[in-house]
Amino acid sequence: MKFSYYRFLLYSGVAAWTILLNGYLFLYHYDNIALSVKTFTNNVNSQQNNNGLYDSDKMDDKVKGDYNEEENHKWAFSSDNNVLHKFNPHHYEPVNTSIVNHKTFDLYKMHADVKDLRGIRPTIATNYETIFKNHPNPNTILGNLDFKERCSLYFQNLFITDHNWYLNPNEELPVGRYVNPYDIELAEFEYSNWKFYNHDRLKQEYIDYEFEGDDQSTITDAELEKFMMRKFEEFWNTTLQVEQKTLDSISHLRIFNKCFLSNSDPKQSEKANQLIRDQKELIQTIQGKDYLPSFEFTESEKMAKLDSYGVCSSLEKRIYPWLSFQLPVFEKWSGEIELTPPQYNNYHKKSKSFTTGTFHQMSDCFFNDMRKSLNGRGIVLTLGDVHVENTLNLIRLLRALGNRLPIQIVYYDNLSGSSKAKIVKAARQSMRDFPASMEKIRHLLPEDYDLGLPVQNIHFVNLFNVVREQYIHKFEGYGNKLLATIFNSFEEFILLDSDVVLFKNPEWFFETSKYKEGGALFYKDRATSDKRPETDLFLLKSLLPNVIDNAMFGFPMVPEKTLKNDAFEGMYHFMEAGVVLLDKTRHLNSILMLPQLYFMEPLMTRSHGDKEFFWLAFAFNGNEEYVFNDYRAVAVGEVKPDRRKDNGELYLAQQLCNSHPAHIDDEDNSLLWLNSGFHFCGKYDLVDYENDLHKQGNYYLQTFENQEDMRHYYYNPINIRHAVVPPFSGANYLKGPNKEGEPEIAWQMLHVLCHDYMWCTYSSIGYGDTFQNGTVIEFDEDQHSYFKYLGDIWVGLE
């Protein structure tokens, strides 16, 4: 027994020594691998002056002691090192990650079953760093403070850092992108690509400013390379600063909205209170009730008093400085002027405990009052004089569809009296004369259809007083549409582009299962082969709520639904915003995120117009209640029959060419809507017909003998007999390379015909191992005749 005991001690000692030795070797080896990454990250951020994540003064002593500038440059930028050409600081954690990695948050994630699925290094708002620097033990906050106290703590620390903080829409946030974002092969944040596309510019800059015009023959490659390395480092400094500022602004806005605007919704308030109760119970269990330290405000925090009436209004002015905090002017079709929202409850009434249907400025926050005034369900259009002709066509179409929902036409003082008169006439005059194409569908129409189409209830909504003058330029173009989303007065609305063509009564969309599921229904764009560089995805993911947002304020960590959509798989085009359905009372906070995204150049350069901002506003707000129609955009028209290759063989892929993305219902394959009007060529009035006549090639069902025939074809409605649903197997399968002459991509944009705006779509791509098949839908004769009738109504044909 004695011998066994000593043998046990001996073996245990050897085992312990082995474990310690292996652990030491692993850590030592890991440190050596990670050291160069850390030193480069610190070097990249060395010019940041106490700027959040990227504060180089917070690097650990080991890295500071071992850092060598020349060696680091050699390691990071050597033109002979292919690995380092792909170096990207986005892939590595910044030095200061102790907050996110604090054991409290690890335990919180485990017990609350919270997972960060973004797959990126930790990113947090700078203000969180300030808070947890003042309160290093997160248990004191999570275990003691209620929701309101946490809100106060957040904004107290913002004021401590900067008394004059506000979200400046005019702040310049340089992006520094030099590479075409549409090219899948290029990543502008890799040194080799960055150098390739900037070489000539940087060389000239070196000659002009660094070399000071001396004899250029003495310039060495080594000197020029060193100069370019320094410029690349400056580029990364700026990039990381801009990304941090973007994250800070998004964080301030979503936290303000959650703290001060959601509290008018009892359901949201109860969810926040339940979060606090669960956390306190968890922290007390982990820490032990008798050992949980109390929370103490710092002296500076005590000086920032944010618990009085009026604080919401004061903060609101800093979060939304571009607003005048006035409602728009509502002008009825009859000319009556109203300074408060019209009452539409006769059209649709929803029971909401916090909605009254009137506007009285009695609460602390403008948007809380505005939410209470929302009422009814309706259609929202945004336009200026240049869009009037399309709007007249759309109004005739809405009448033909039997629409009885009210319409708000939102504009910024750029709609003339004559334009309004035309719109009112189209909406209110008797419509009893129908195109001859109606005869073929008479059996599909209501019995009283001949008695006249319903007049439309129109309100013109002038936004002139809504935006402060110094910021109105921020809303030119697509921005006006975002204002219309916020300042229409409906509880629920369908937002339409003026050139949209609907094939269903607008009320049908509100009754779909998808809209009812989430109160936000969106539609997907064409599945083109354009891809995003990896760095785009890092920025977008970094703006999603993180574990501290979740623990402090209950923002949901965005799960797989969003992170696995096509955009986060790298596709540049995801959403088409020609038709958007929203329940504003349910999703006001996410809607208010829209203009903030539009102000930010780093996000604007990563989106084609406003379309991606709708779903991104939801995602950045931790709101995943939005729902997309399953189908991506399709092509409608006539499939070109019997297409043959040069060798006489028939193509496997069927082809359909036009300029209109269309959408079909994912439940019954019925046609829902299309964009770019009903003319075959939406830009028919801008076309060089002599040019198009010579380039028509094999793209149409017929060839045209003269310009007049082509002009007539371009002007007339699309003849909709087919819908081509191109193949789509995911963002990583957008191409089907082959040697058989079959199309390799599903959507091909032709930079000829229809004023350089024509797409050809294919029912399949690839051949053999790369073959992917889509679907061709053939509409029956009743459907074809119905589309023909609506096309004649829209174009105005007799």
Q: Tell which wins on pLDDT, 72 or 727.
A: 727
In a domain, 1, yes or no: no
Judge if 621 and 747 occupy the same domain: no
In a domain, 548, yes or no: no
Q: Among positive and negative, which fits the CA dihedral 589, 594, 600, 606?
A: positive
Token pair, residue 361, equals: 């400025």
Closest of 35, 238, 135 to residue 548, by C-alpha? 135
Looking at residue 76, its pLDDT comes to 39
Closest of 751, 605, 611, 610 to residue 181, by C-alpha? 605
Q: What percent of the chain has pLDDT over 70?
A: 82
Per-residue pLDDT tens over the stretch 693-721: 888 877 777 789 999 999 999 999 999 99
Looking at residue 521, its amino acid is L
pLDDT at 367 over 90: yes
pLDDT at 29 over 50: no
Report the C-alpha dihedral over residues 395, 396, 399, 403, rounded to 10 degrees. Answer: -30
**Which of 628, 643, 671 is the last residue before a domain boundary?**
628
In a domain, 458, yes or no: yes
According to DSSP, the residues that pair with 62 across neighbouring strands are none
Q: Tell which wins on pLDDT, 142 or 31.
A: 142
Residue 140 Cα to chain centre, angstroms: 36
Residue 764 Cα to chain centre, angstroms: 29
| Residue 358 confidence class, pLDDT cut points 50, 70, 90 | low
Q: Helix, strand or coil for residue 292?
A: coil
CATH of the domain at 504: 3.90.550
Judge if 347 and 404 occupy the same domain: yes
pLDDT at 9 over 60: no
Looking at residue 8, its pLDDT comes to 54
Judge if 596 and 643 occupy the same domain: no
Q: What is the DSSP string of 127-158?
A: HHHHHHHHS--HHHHHTT--HHHHHHHHHHHH
Judge if 788 and 677 occupy the same domain: yes
Helices (H), 326-446: 366-373, 388-400, 417-428
**Which of 611, 628, 645 is the last residue before a domain boundary?**
628
Q: Tell which wins on pLDDT, 667 or 291.
A: 667
**Which strand (E) or helix (H) includes residue 576?**
strand 575-583
Judge if 478 and 431 occupy the same domain: yes
Looking at residue 633, its pLDDT comes to 97
Judge if 604 and 710 occupy the same domain: no
Q: Rounded CA gap, 298 and 575, in Å?
A: 46
Q: Model pTM greater than 0.75?
A: yes
List of residues 6+ apart from 180 with CB closer than 8 A:
186
Judge if 662 and 579 occupy the same domain: no
**How many domains does the structure of the chain reveal?**
2
In a domain, 669, yes or no: yes
Q: Rounded CA gap, 424 and 498, in Å?
A: 15
Per-residue pLDDT tens over the stretch 522-574: 999 999 988 887 778 888 999 999 999 999 999 988 877 899 899 998 888 99
**Which of 628, 643, 668 is the last residue before a domain boundary?**
628
pLDDT at 346 over 90: no
> How many CB atoms within 10 Å of residue 267?
11
Looking at residue 215, its pLDDT comes to 64
| Residue 6 confidence class, pLDDT cut points 50, 70, 90 | low
pLDDT at 162 over 90: yes
Judge if 578 and 726 occupy the same domain: no
| Overall average pLDDT of the 770-787 stretch | 97
Q: Rounded CA gap, 638 and 658, in Å?
A: 9
Q: Rounded CA gap, 221 and 199, in Å?
A: 12
In a domain, 789, yes or no: yes
Judge if 589 and 731 occupy the same domain: no
Judge if 624 and 642 occupy the same domain: no
Looking at residue 660, its pLDDT comes to 93
In a domain, 620, yes or no: yes
Judge if 648 and 697 occupy the same domain: yes
In a domain, 462, yes or no: yes
> Structural domain of residue 397, as residue ranges?
328-525+574-628
| Residue 290 confidence class, pLDDT cut points 50, 70, 90 | confident
Q: Rounded CA gap, 485 and 357, in Å?
A: 18
Looking at residue 363, its amino acid is S
Backbone phi, then psi, for 544, in 5-degree steps?
A: -70, 155
Looking at residue 265, its pLDDT comes to 63
List of residues 6+ apart from 137 with CB closer than 8 A:
104, 293
| Residue 81 confidence class, pLDDT cut points 50, 70, 90 | very low
Looking at residue 774, its amino acid is G
Looking at residue 618, its amino acid is F
Token pair, residue 546, equals: 């993180």
Burial (Cβ within 10 Å: 0-12, 13-18, ≥19) of residue 348: middle
In a domain, 606, yes or no: yes
Report the C-alpha dihedral over residues 493, 495, 500, 502, rounded to 10 degrees. Answer: -20
Q: Among positive and negative, which fits the CA dihedral 607, 239, 248, 106?
A: positive
Q: Are 378 and 407 in contact (CB under 8 A)?
A: yes
| Residue 234 confidence class, pLDDT cut points 50, 70, 90 | confident
| Average pLDDT of the chain, as a whole number | 83
| Residue 615 confidence class, pLDDT cut points 50, 70, 90 | very high
Least confident of 288-292, 397-401, 600-604: 288-292
Judge if 659 and 767 occupy the same domain: yes
